Amino acid sequence: MRKICVIGVGYVGLVTGACFADLGNPVTCLDIAEERIEKLKRGEMPIYEPGLEEIVSRNVAAGRLTFTTSYAEAVSGADFIFVAVNTPPSMDGEADLQYVRMAAESIAQVLSDYAIIVNKSTVPVGTGDAVAEILQARGKKVGVDFDIVSNPEFLAEGSAVHDFLQPDRVVLGGTNRDASEKVAQLYLPLRASIMITDLRTAEMIKYASNAFLATRISFINEIATICEKVGADVKEVAAGMGMDKRIGRAFLNAGIGYGGSCFPKDVKALTWMAEINGCHPQLLRSVMEINRDMRRQVLAKLRELLGSVRGKTIALLGLAFKPNTDDVREAASSDIVHLLQSEGANIRAYDPVATENARRMLKGVTFCGDAYSTAEGADALVLVTEWNEFKQLDMARIAASMKRKVLVDGRNIYEPEQMRELGFEYRGIGRG
């Protein structure tokens, strides 16, 4: 087995390190955030991700997985150094590479033997070359060689462990094919399809993939808006479209839009890359505009049903941007709360796991302990995140407890006729 260093213990880094350890490799995960590392040493997970805690615990106990804040300790003797740090968007959409540069400079300071630097962070095309320049400046002084390989991640929050262990594909890109093939050997136990290409193409594959998935979401939401005007049901429309093998059913669920740490920033970053290179990315701009519009539709539907939201109590079910995660970054809930508060509404909210993260971001919201207490006495109920828990609620009990039986189903998880039979004034997304 080869020694692996993983820099960054966020969703990508921690999952990558834990899963490589589970495949039998000795792995050291590094992060400069001391609190995160101390939590991991105590067996506490800094993020919510199904199945991750079990894998981390198992490999820590086996001695294959360790955590540190020391670059010297983590890099020493490592055959592969995976960089999985955050690349947040700047105001104009450009990916902020300060953490990537800091990681590269820190590696350069302590690297004493040949290693393959593997970039897992989502970065603009050409970043691999920039990282190489940083390392070359140091390497020339001390005579240490290295190779750079791009290995973009395709992990979906909520299923990241599954996605790593059963990937659709592994993409690798570099200037030295031998280095890429060495990284490929790490993935051989997964029996995945492996694509080896050049450095910049690998970087572009990640952005193009996420932008395409975001486009599918915005496309079906555009269709949903039309369905409402012409009296069609977008769920049936999507099902009919999905029967075509050229189209498929994935990412054709109409709702209040995408969020999270990937799609929003990656579409923005790709748009920025296109603009600075003289392109005209009107499709990408439309994808983002439609996504923003879907959050505004919630307020429009509440106005239609309540007349005004001023002074009304609006209950939100779900705060995370999607089920099975505690991530509230770019979540629809944030936009909806701010829109409602700007018009004087009182907000109550509940999420099975994301409440603590939401509490730090959303001020003036009353956070409740379950769905039933959230809905009690409310003028309207908005389904924001399609947790399975919400699909199994006793909706008759919910209806009986509300001041007014108004339901905006932002993810189309309820059947309109059943809700109306329970007395709800129901509005879905694109349900005719």
Q: Which are the catalytic amino acids?
A: 262
Strand (E) or helix (H) holding 43: none
Q: How many Cα neighbours within 13 Å face the side chain of 35? A: 2
114 alpha-carbon distance from chain centroid: 33
Task: Check: CB of residue 420 under 8 Å from CB of residue 432.
Answer: no
DSSP, residue by residue, 183-238: HHHHHGGGT--EEEE-HHHHHHHHHHHHHHHHHHHHHHHHHHHHHHHHT--HHHHH
**What is the gyration radius of the CA atoms in the chain, in angstroms?**
23
Terminal alpha carbon distance of the chain: 57
Cα separation values, 171 from 4, 162, 204, 213, 420, Å? 18, 17, 11, 17, 48
User: What's the rounded Cα separation, in Å, for the pair 267 and 66?
Assistant: 35
The pair of structure tokens assigned to 17 is 């390190």
Nearest to 82 by CA among 133, 157, 154, 30: 30
Task: Check: CB of residue 167 under 8 Å from CB of residue 221.
Answer: no
Report which DSSP code applies to 156. P
User: What's the rounded Cα separation, in Å, for the pair 427 and 409?
Assistant: 6
